[in-house]
Structure 1
Amino acid sequence: MPSGQRAGYSLHLKLFSAFMVGAVLLLATGSIAFYFSMKVQSYYEHILRKNIAQERSISRMRDSVNDELRYLTRLSVNLMSDKEYDDVFKKIDGFRLEYKNQEAKLKQVIEGGDQEEDYAALASVGAKLESSVNEVTHLFKTNSTNPDRIRLVSVYYSELEETISELFAKVAKMDSFITDRIKHSEDEASRYSATGNTLTSLAVVLGFLSAFVLGVVLSRYLTRKLSFVAEQLDIQAKAMITVSEQLIKGSEDIRQRTVSQMEAIGKTARSTAEINEKILQNAENSKMSAVRSRESQEAVAGMRTGINQLNEAVGKISDGTLGIANEVQSSHEQMKAVVALIQEISSKTRIINDIVFQTKLLSFNASVEAARAGDSGKGFSVVAEEVGNLARSSGVAADEISSMLGRSVASVEKMVVETKQKVEQLVNDSQSKVDEGIESSENVIVLFESVESGVNDVLSRMDGISQATQEEAEGLRLVQDAFRELETLAGANRTAVLDFERQAGSLRTQSNSVMMAVLQLQEVLRGGQRVA
């Protein structure tokens, strides 16, 4: 707080205090009146609910007695079956139970009140009625014929009517008393409600008077204070208008410079982007060349592997050719063994021919002996003849076998000689071709090793080029990021300048508004006299 300034309460606190004084007075008076009226209303509402409950119980008791009387009348004038009589007695019992329930409720309501004597009289009449009804129903149930039943009901019906009339008189007396008390309660409630309304009106009048007095006092005090405030606001508003105009001019100059800076940064950034695009394209091309070089390297390695496999296959073919030659030589030896076996069979065939000759000779001798024997030798003659035929057939077969064996031996020997010659020729030719293939593949391997060395050198150079290109691209990317940050900063500066211009314009507008408010405040304080 500046020196020399006296401490005091704020305007807000003073207005709030004045409002609170009036509000407290109004609230206190209204609360007293409201409490008094609510207390009275609550008390009489309790009495009213109690009286209404009494009247409801009495009404239901009257209805139960009327229903009993109606069913007793049916007993006296109608002839019914036993089942219908039982239904009537059940109805009467139900009505008696309802009467007792309502009587108990009525007792709870009026207990401790000024109607206990009337209730005692009503209860006495009710007990008398219950006793009479029980006696009638008992006698009615103990007599089995309808005429006796009707006679019994007729005898006790007049007594029941007297008891019921007495009960209705008691009920009417209590009902009349309750009706009068309800009306009295309503009148009392209306009177106290009018008193509460009067007090409430008085509280409102006092509140308005307090507010009026406080308003007059505060208005004089506020007029002096607000006049001083209006003069100070006028001075400050004029100064704010001058400052806002200067700020607007400075912000326009800064905005123009920011726009020029953004245009220069944009051109440089576009040029850098084009260079970066070319470098990225070169990097992509170098990557593709490196990929192609690696593919060539893999192809050369695959071809060298294939040639090695081809050499191995040629070696296997050479080994297979030698194996075939060995197998052919083995077959040749086996064919010689077959020829020897055929020749041995041929020698055995000559033995068969000798046996055939001896058999023929024996057959001839047997025929001679059979002829000498005459009739007794006929059977032996037939056998000798058949043996001779068999010997001749065996001789023919032996000759054919010998001929066939001779031809077979000649054919086999010829085939062995020809096969041996052809196989030896093929083996020699194959071995020559295999040697040539091995020599050619070795030459190709040497050539591919030279190509692979060149491809590795190219691949190493391409990797160096690709790495250098990537480093250049990374450097340009950093440059582009820097330009983008500059563009962002320039845009932020432009936005800040525009925001500053808007705030300066808003400050000027608010200053004008303050000036208008000061003029209006002075007009209000001076009663329509403006200050130049």
Structure 2
Amino acid sequence: MQADRDFQQMLVAERTLLLEGLSDKQRKALADDYFTNKQQVVDRFKKYTVLGDSPKEIEISKKFNEGLEAFEKTAADKFPLDKEGNIRKFSKAELITNSLGPVNSKFEGARDSLDQLQELILGMGDEEFKEADETYSNSIFLMSIISIVSLFGSVGICIFMARRIDGRINNIVESISNEGQNLENVSNTFKNKSVALSSISEQLSAAATETSSSLHEISQMIKSNTDGSNNVASLIQKSQELVTDGVKSLGDLGRGVKDVENSTTTLANTVEKSNSELNEIVKVFEEINVKTQVINDIVFQTKLLSFNASVEAARAGENGKGFSVVAEEVGNLAKMSGESADEISKLLVDSLKKVTDIVDVSSRDVNESLNLSRDKINKSVEISNQCQEVFTQVLRNFDEVSANSNEVANASKEQLIGVEEVSKAMQEISSSASLTSQSAHDLNTASSELSQAVNHIGEDITDLKGLIIAQIKSARHAVSNVVNFNKTKRNAETKKAA
């Protein structure tokens, strides 16, 4: 029973290590409790295997050792606990699954063998009690028969078989004495068994009380853990909603960036179109410049013609004066036209240079701005995509955490149900221990009464033996008197006849 209690303490320590919020000191204390109880199971069972020698005990002991080895191997693989109370190989959900699955299966297998051994020991105790009770009943019946036979038969046969009956009665008395001694041994055995049973009951009651207290604390911790898991699940759900809104906002931002990129491309096309139109204007300026040069040539030729006309008018004298005035005015007009053409040419050159510079600067600046905008837009799109991927991954992680949190909450609820069932079982065990203690007390009392009865029977046997011996002596004396009387009577009759 103590080994079974140590097994239960191991299970409590293992399940408690799966709780959240434990400090390093608490984890180390639980690990020490786990390994200490495990070693106590091994040590107690080794002590018992030295005492248990029946074939059934040997068979169950072998089965328990095999189950214990399978449990230790599975626990080392699926629940690798170190001396500090750390388990780093698996996640919390995997540890819960392993603890409730393969590790618990091997644990219950070994524990079933231990329960079978306890049932075997209790059964053997019951059989010994039944055998002792049967021996006592047979002895009482045998003594009753012998007493009746001795009382009623001795009177009839003591006259004829005094010597033979004397020997047989001595043998019977000796046999009854031996049976009385056997009853006394059985009574002592009952006393020892009752003392051991009372001690076991007290230990079981104390263990049940201690376990009930531990189960109450564990129940409170599981309830607190369940409430924490529910709060975490609520926070995770709210965070999921926020992340979902963030993902939608990032999607809107990405579409907005795409719209900006499209607008930038449209602006670039518009600027490029404007530059193309400015280039067309530059071409018009160039054509005007060419036409202006043609005008300058015409002005030069007009001046030349005006000069020639003035020369011819001078030669004509009075007749050429009017023509000379016309030639002079034509020359002035040609001069004014030339000056205007020069000014137009200068303006065209300046305008052409300014327009060309504007087109070049505008094209360069717009291209640089467009390239910079494209780079920033591309980076913004890339960052937006990365953020969206991160938020998506965070959302998946939230889903996993939410699932794990729900699993932990469900596991906590199942553990709470299991703890409540174990608590009820421990209360029943405590009640059974009280009943067992009372039964042990009653058995001790019955053993004392049986011992007193055996002593009384021994005294009665001694008295009966003395009485039988006295009756035998009396019978012998009576027989002797009868013989002597008959002998005297025959002698008298002989003398009378003579």
- TM-score, with normalisation over the residues of structure 1? 0.30
Q: Which structure has the greater CA radius of gyration?
A: 1
- TM-score, with normalisation over the residues of structure 2? 0.32
